[in-house]
Structure 1
Amino acid sequence: MGWLWAIIVGFVLGLIAKAIIPGKQHSPLWLITIFGIAGALLGNWLATVFGIGETKGIDWGRHALQIVAAVVIVFLGDMAYSSMRGSRKQKA
């Protein structure tokens, strides 16, 4: 069941990150979901490093770090995806 939650959280984080980033992203939805999963994992790791991974109540700091990490990963991942797609089109 953990993998299902990872996909759901990654999907939601990816969509939030996509909405925050200005302009149009060209990555497909499945890739945005993978970027969101990576953002969640990176955000959780950063929260643990900063000592806010486990708090009483809602972990606002951890969630904020997850969103920031997802925004960065979606932005960089979309740039890489677009450049790879562009280089494929030029070869054809």
Structure 2
Amino acid sequence: MIWTILIGLVAGLLARAIKPGNDAMGWIMTIVLGIAGAFVGGFIASAIGVNSDGGFIGLAFSVIGAIILLFIYELIISKTSA
């Protein structure tokens, strides 16, 4: 459980650092973003036939999934504030 939270934090922080823009969210949302990104990244990896069980490949797909979720989050926030 703690390992999942730490990996989620790392994946969320990396995704927020890579994706340009102002994503105002706290630590908890960053962890949730990373954990959810791991699920999305795992789905993408299995869809293209890549084994992403841990290691660098797993982290890379987690970050890719988190970046996708950040774009979706940004679309939702921009529509509700407009």
**Greater CA radius of gyration, 1 or 2?**
1
The equivalent residue for 1:6 is: 4
For normalisation by structure 2, the TM-score amounts to: 0.74
Please report the RMSD computed on the Cα atoms of aligned residues, expressed in angstroms: 2.4
Does the Cα contact within 8 Å between 1:43 and 1:68 map onto a contact in 2?
yes
CA distance in 2, matches of 1:14, 1:54: 17
Give the percent of matched residue pairs that are identical in Structure 1 and Structure 2.
28
Q: Return the offset for 1:44.
A: 1.5
Instruction: Report the 3-state secondary structure (helix = DSSP H, G, I; strand = E; otherwise coil) of the residue aligned with 2:63.
Output: helix
Gaps of 5+ in 1: 88-92
Aligned length: 81
Q: Paired residue for 2:24?
A: 26
Alignment match of 1:66 (pick from 46, 50, 62): 62
> Where do 5+ consecutive residues of structure 2 fail to align?
none
TM-score by length of 1: 0.67
C-alpha separation in 2, matches of 1:15 and 1:59:
16
